Structure 1
Amino acid sequence: MDADIALFEKVKKGNIASFEKIFEKYYLQLCGYCNKFVRDHETAQEIVSDVFAYIWSKRREINLKSNLRSYLFRSVKNLSLTKLRSSKIPSEELNESILNSLRETEGADHNILYTEFSARLEEIIKQMPKQRQLVFRMSRLEGLSYNEIAIAMSISPRTVQNHMVEAVKYMSSYRQDLMNLITTVALLCISLVIAYY
C-alpha cells in the first residue's frame, strides 16, 4: 500500500500524529502551488490551512480515487479558484450581513434562534485553551488574517496556524451539534433572502 494512503487510513480513524505527518510533508509545497493562483503568501497559507482543516473534519467521509498528493493539490487549486471568484464579496462582510439580518428580523422566534446559536458556539469556544480561543475568535469571528493575529498577539504566524489547526480539530468534534443549529439558521437566512427579493 502507498505510504500516504496508509497514513490517511490512520487519519480516517482519528490518528492525529498521522495527520500531522501529512501536514508537515505537504504544507510548504501546497503553499507554493497555491501562491501561483492567489499571488499572496499569507492568503495561500490560509487556503492551505483551510484545506487541511476540511480534510480533518471530513476524514471519515473522504474516499480517495487517486493518490493523496493529487487530492491535496486539486483541493488547494479548487479552493484557490473559489476564493478568487468570490473575492469581490469578502466572507466576513457576507457573514456580518447575514448576522445583521438575523438580529434585525422581527419575531421572538428569530431572536431566540440567534441567541441559542450564539450561546452554544460561545460555550464550545470557551472550552479551548485561552490563547487558542483568542486566535480562533480573531480569525473566524473578526476576520483577521494570520499575520494580523500574529502581530496583535506577539506570536509567530506559524503559531497562529498551529492554533487554528488544533481549534478546527476540536470544533469538528461538535460538528453535528452545531450543524443542527446552522441548518436552522441557514433555512431562516434563505427565507429572509426570498422575502427580500
Structure 2
Amino acid sequence: MKTKKLLPLPKSTNCTLVEDLDLFQKIAKGQYAALELLFNKYYDALCRFGLTYQKDISIVEERVSDVFIILWNKRKELNQIEKPKSYIYVIAKNSLKKPIKSHLSFSIDTQYQSNILFSPSTEEEIIDKEQKEINAQIIQSILNSIPEKSRQIFELSRIDGFKYREISEIMDLSPRTVENHIALAMKYISKGLRNFHQNKY
C-alpha cells in the first residue's frame, strides 16, 4: 500500500498568481463577477486563517466578508497590486485584529453563508476514501497539538501555498522566525504520527 503524504502540494504559485492578477484587473474594471470568483476561491481558507485570531466563527465570517467589501471599494487601486493573494491575507489579518465595532454586510449566496468550516477540510481531501473519517480525525488531532502561531504559519505554507518570504510579510515576522515555526510544527507532526503508530500497534 502506497504511503500518502500528510498534506497535498499547493497549486503552482505562478499559476495562482496569474489567475489572481487577472481577477484583480477585472475587479478594477468594475466586473463584480470577478469579485465573486475571488470570494469563492479564498473565503474558506481566509475563515480558517481567521480562526487563529478570533474563535467566534460568526465574527470571523463577517470580517472575512468585509475583506471583499474593502477590495471592491478599493478596486481602482488593484491594478497596482503585484501579489494579490498576500494582499488579501494582509487585509484579512488587519480586519480581524481590529476591535468589533462595524456591521458591514455583503451580498452573497446563502450557500456560502451556511458553509461549515472544514467541511470538507483541506486535510481530509488527501486521505484515502476508505479511511477518510478516521485519518481526518488523526490529522486534525495532530494539527491541534501544534502551538497556535506555528500552526497558523504551517497552514499558510503547506495548505495555502505561501513562500516563507510571503508569510513573513503577512505576519510581520522575519523569514528566519517563519522557518523556526515551520520546523517546530514539523516536529509536532512527526511526534504525533510516531505516537499514533506506536499506539496502533
TM-score, length basis structure 2: 0.42
Which structure dedicates a bigger proportion of its chain to helix?
Answer: 1
Higher relative CO (CA 8 A, sep ≥ 6), structure 1 or 2?
Answer: 2
